[in-house]
């Protein structure tokens, strides 16, 4: 190896241990050979041996410089069998073409093969032909290229499988590139369509177009990522649902450079989602939206309305639905609900919204230009009036059942779904308190009353356990005015705060909550216990009257007869000791069933009295068919006896007719001697009232009985 060649080409400062001196740029360039990443080799074309190389040429193949310079091209050929032939071919080509390139494979000292690009330039070095050869290792590049083409097809496959296409928009040139899948989502092909933003917009469903355009333009302007679901309306009316996402890169000047996005065909998911929505948000019976949908819709409307616009909300509950269901069966019950739904639907304006939110409960929503109480009330009133007067289509009922309605208004009563729904429901409960076919507009006072009622209800539930209930006894006097013919047991409740709560308040409440059954049973047992105690004391009483609620009369397991029989036998009494007071209205609800119950009780030996007669519009003819013993004329008539001739006439006629029917009459609420005198003259048999004795505790009444017996 000639030192001159070596030093000319590849001597390095490190190898020489010196900082080399250079005289010209050309000299300086010599050092570039060691800095580059290509392998450089000087090959003697006559002998075929390497005569010089740079560091990377020997290091890449794992040889020391000295070892490498003992080799020739055949020694580093990957294919050992062809190595010599290949080398001779290469040398021949080099001699014929002083400059060129070809590809080959090298084997490193460790045995690993590398793909190499070879470029060469033949030089005349002082009369000696040498080739300056560059070996460029292509292994990584080839792998990367192979990998990238593999990734490319993988990506295409992934796009096809997931129905996600990708695209890139160059804002400077307007050029839009679509991936294969994007073409296929837009139902076209590269040879059929030259994509552009304008073309894309044309494929968007006309109803979604302006929103889509606005979303894209906003992203182009701000660079903010976007996500939007919209419909595509493609050729032949093909409808697709797509999800678009993307991001825009802005230049330093704030102008958009490129937008890269994906478009995903979610038609299938959309279809599934719609089906799920139908399951989750639609009431299968009426096909109306359900409660979850109503809450969602209300939230949506409230968001849109803000604080300026109004929303009227009606909570509607069908009257008597439970009894229709119970008496006519669920099939008819379902038909009633469906008919109610379609009746309500017919009353709706295009912007109104209707849902079935409970078994017989509906919600109606109406967006309004501004919260208008009058408009809301008129709307509700129209619904109330129409419902009860519409034919009960296909239900076997002559008319659609009436409804009770509660109305609330946003933003006046609340601006979130929860509050508004609660307000409308509170108004509905208030409407129901006042009977059927009623309409109430929400007011904060209603809430307060309702809360008080709730508190009352809760403490009433504990009244028996806390021994807060007592029975008072009011005497019933016979015509002569001296004999105690009987007594009425009247319930008293002193609550935990020591307040006396009137039975006129808590009995209707207990009837509503069902607590009346427990309370009623307590009354029966307590009355029987007390009567037995008086009997033991030798005190006799004609009959003890007990007030019976219509609900007790209708109870089945256990029935009223069973409860009474149990109490009588526990306290050694007989049915003849008791009189049962049933209000007139109790008989009106279900006269046939009540009649049956009463006949059973009468056969057992109980006396039966009609309480508050005259308040329920029952006819005496109807009472005739019932096994009654006594008719209690309501205090309302007794009070007016002195000042109203018409009332006098009514009382007179009642007493006459009652006598004809073989009924005894008792006048309630006798407060004055004048009233007593008039009633006596009219032929009334018994009297009860403050004049003759107020309701009193058992001990006082016992004492009264004792005195009467002694007299």
CA distance 540 to 536: 9
Among 121-129, 179-187, 418-426, 669-677, which window interacts with ligand C2E (CB under 6 A)? Answer: 669-677
Question: What is the closest distance, in whole angstroms, from the C-beta atom of residue 600 to ligand C2E in the complex?
Answer: 19
Q: What residue spans of 489-515 are helical by DSSP H?
A: 503-513
Site string for Mg ion, 633-672 (x = CB under 5 A): -----------------------------------x----
Report, in Å, the least distance between residue 559 CB and ligand C2E: 16
Cβ distance to Mg ion smaller for residue 159 or 668: 668
Which helix (H) or strand (E) segment holds residue 274: the answer is helix 267-281
3-class SS at 280? helix
* CA atoms in the 13 A half-sphere facing the CB of 501: 22
Name every residue whose Cβ is closer than 8 Å to that of residue 207 and which is 6 or more positions away in sequence.
Answer: 231
Of residues 686 through 705, those in contact with ligand C2E by CB under 6 A are 688-690, 695
Does residue 671 touch ligand C2E according to CB under 6 A? yes
Contact 125, 97 (CB under 8 A): no
Quick one: what does residue 550 bind among ligand C2E, Mg ion, none, with the CB cut-off 5 to 8 Å set by partner type? none
**Which partner in ligand C2E, Mg ion, none is near 504 (CB below 5 to 8 A by kind)?**
ligand C2E
Interacting positions 607-636 with ligand C2E (CB under 6 A): 611-612, 635
Binds Mg ion by CB under 5 A, chosen from 325, 340, 476, 547: 547
360 or 488: CB nearest ligand C2E: 488
* Shortest spacing between CB 579 and Mg ion, in angstroms: 10
The distance of closest approach from Cβ of residue 657 to Mg ion in the complex, given in angstroms and rounded to an integer, is 19
* Pairing outcome for strands 578-583 and 607-613: parallel
How far is 578 from 587, CA to CA, in rounded Å?
20
Residues in 580-609 that interact with ligand C2E by CB under 6 A: 581
Please check whether residue 544 is in contact with residue 568, taking contact to mean a CB–CB distance below 8 angstroms: no
Write the DSSP assignment of 334-366 as a string of letters. Answer: HHHHHHHHHHHHHT--TT-EEEE-SSSEEEEEE
> Which residues are CB-contacts of 105 (< 8 A; sequence separation ≥ 6)?
77, 78, 79, 113, 114, 115, 116
Q: Closer to Mg ion by CB, 56 or 547: give it.
A: 547
**Which distant-in-sequence residues (6+ apart) come within 8 Å of 435 by Cβ?**
none
Helix (H) / strand (E) element for 137: namely strand 128-137
Tell which one of 289, 392, 669, 702 touches ligand C2E (CB under 6 A): 669
Q: In the complex with ligand C2E, which residue's Cβ is closer, 41 or 528?
A: 528
Q: Contacting Mg ion (CB under 5 A), which of 611, 679, 689, 701?
A: 611
Q: Nearest Cα to 303, choosing from 367, 248, 230? A: 367
**Scanning residues 527 to 556, which ones bind ligand C2E (CB under 6 A)?**
547, 549
Residues 377 and 368 sit within 8 Å (Cβ to Cβ):
no
Q: What, of ligand C2E, Mg ion, none, does residue 630 touch, CB below 5 to 8 Å by kind?
A: none
Min dist. Cβ of residue 638 to ligand C2E (A)? 8
Binding mask 472-511 for ligand C2E (x = CB under 6 A): --x---------------xx----------xxx--x----
Q: Is 523 in the site for ligand C2E (CB under 6 A)?
A: yes
Total number of residues binding ligand C2E (CB under 6 A)?
A: 22
For the CB of residue 631, give the shortest distance to Mg ion in the complex, in Å: 11
SS3 content of the chain, % helix, strand, coil (to 5): 45, 25, 30
Chosen from ligand C2E, Mg ion, none, partner binding at 671 (C-beta under 5 to 8 Å by type): ligand C2E
Nearer to ligand C2E, 385 or 690 (CB): 690
**Given the complex with Mg ion, which of 530 and 547 has the nearer CB atom?**
547
Report how far residue 379's alpha carbon sits from residue 669's, in angstroms, rounded to the nearest whole number: 45
Task: Identify which of 615, 610, 627, 623 has the alpha carbon closest to the alpha carbon of residue 657.
Answer: 623
DSSP codes of every residue in 216-247? HHHHHHH---EEEEEEEE-GGG-EEEEEEEEE
- Please give the residue ranges that form the binding site for ligand C2E (CB under 6 A): 474, 490-491, 502-504, 507, 523, 547, 549, 581, 611-612, 635, 668-671, 688-690, 695
- Please give the residue ranges that form the binding site for Mg ion (CB under 5 A): 547, 581, 611-612, 668
């Amino acid at each position: 190896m000639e030192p001159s060649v070596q030093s000319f080409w590849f001597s390095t400062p490190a190898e020489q241990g010196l900082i080399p001196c250079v005289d010209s740029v050309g000299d300086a360039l010599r050092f570039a050979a060691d800095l580059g990443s290509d392998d450089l080799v000087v090959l003697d074309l006559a002998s075929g041996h390497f005569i010089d190389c740079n560091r990377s040429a020997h290091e890449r193949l794992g040889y020391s410089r000295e070892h490498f310079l003992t080799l020739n091209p055949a020694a580093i050929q990957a294919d050992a069998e062809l190595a010599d032939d290949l080398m001779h071919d290469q040398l021949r080509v080099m001699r014929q073409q002083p400059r060129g390139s070809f590809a080959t494979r090298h084997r490193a000292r460790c045995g690993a093969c590398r793909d190499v690009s070879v470029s060469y330039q033949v030089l005349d070095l002082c009369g000696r032909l040498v080739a300056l050869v560059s070996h460029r290792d292509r292994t990584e590049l080839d792998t990367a290229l192979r990998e990238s083409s593999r990734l490319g097809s993988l990506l295409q496959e992934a796009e096809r499988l997931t129905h996600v296409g990708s695209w890139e928009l160059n804002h400077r040139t307007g050029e839009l590139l679509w991936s294969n899948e994007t073409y296929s989502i837009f139902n076209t092909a590269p040879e059929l369509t030259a994509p552009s933003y304008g073309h894309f917009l044309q494929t968007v469903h006309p109803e979604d177009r302006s929103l889509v355009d606005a979303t894209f333009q906003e992203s182009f302007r701000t660079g903010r990522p976007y996500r939007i679901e919209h419909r595509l309306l493609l050729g032949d009316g093909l409808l697709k649902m797509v999800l678009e996402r993307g991001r825009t890169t802005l230049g330093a000047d704030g102008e958009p450079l490129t937008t890269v996005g994906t478009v995903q065909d979610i038609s299938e998911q959309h279809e599934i989602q719609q089906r799920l929505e139908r399951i989750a948000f639609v009431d299968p019976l009426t096909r109306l939206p359900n409660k979850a949908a109503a809450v969602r819709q209300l939230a949506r409307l409230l968001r849109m309305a803000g604080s300026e616009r109004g929303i009227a909300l009606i909570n509607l509950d069908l009257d008597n639905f439970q009894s229709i269901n119970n008496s006519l069966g669920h099939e008819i019950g379902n038909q009633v609900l469906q008919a109610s739904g379609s009746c309500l639907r017919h009353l709706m304006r295009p912007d109104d919204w209707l849902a079935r939110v409970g078994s017989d409960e509906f919600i109606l929503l109406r967006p309004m230009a501004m919260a208008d109480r009058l408009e809301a009330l008129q709307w509700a009133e129209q619904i109330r009036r129409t419902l009860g007067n519409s034919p009960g289509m296909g239900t076997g009922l002559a008319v659609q059942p009436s409804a009770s309605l509660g109305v609330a208004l946003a933003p006046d009563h609340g601006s979130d779904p929860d509050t508004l729904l609660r307000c409308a429901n509170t108004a509905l409960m208030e409407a129901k308190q006042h009977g059927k076919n009623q309409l109430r507009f929400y007011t904060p006072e209603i809430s307060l009353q309702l809360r008080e009622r709730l508190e009352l209800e809760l403490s009433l539930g504990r009244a028996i356990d806390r021994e807060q209930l007592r029975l008072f006894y009011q005497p019933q006097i016979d015509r002569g005015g001296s004999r105690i013919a009987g007594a009425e047991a009247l319930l008293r409740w002193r609550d935990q705060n020591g307040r006396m709560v009137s039975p006129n308040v808590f009995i209707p409440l207990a009837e509503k909550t069902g607590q009346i059954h427990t309370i009623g049973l307590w009354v029966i047992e307590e009355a029987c216990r007390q009567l037995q105690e008086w009997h033991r004391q030798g005190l006799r009483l004609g009959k003890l009257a007990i007030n019976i609620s219509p609900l007790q009369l209708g109870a089945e397991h256990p029935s009223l007869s069973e409860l009474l029989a149990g109490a009588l036998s526990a306290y050694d009494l007989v049915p003849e000791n008791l009189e049962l007071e049933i209000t007139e209205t109790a008989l009106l609800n279900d006269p046939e069933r009540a009649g049956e119950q009463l006949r059973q009780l009468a056969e057992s030996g109980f006396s039966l009295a009609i309480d508050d007669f005259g308040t329920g519009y029952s006819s005496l003819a109807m009472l005739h068919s019932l096994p009654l013993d006594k008719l209690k004329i309501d205090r309302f008539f007794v009070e007016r006896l002195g000042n109203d001739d018409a009332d006098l006439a009514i009382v007179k006629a009642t007493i006459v007719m009652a006598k004809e029917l073989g009924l005894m009459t008792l006048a309630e609420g006798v407060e004055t001697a004048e009233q007593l005198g008039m009633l006596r003259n009219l032929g009334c048999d018994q009297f009860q009232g403050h004049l003759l004795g107020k309701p009193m505790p058992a001990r006082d009444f016992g004492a009264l009985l004792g005195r009467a017996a002694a007299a």
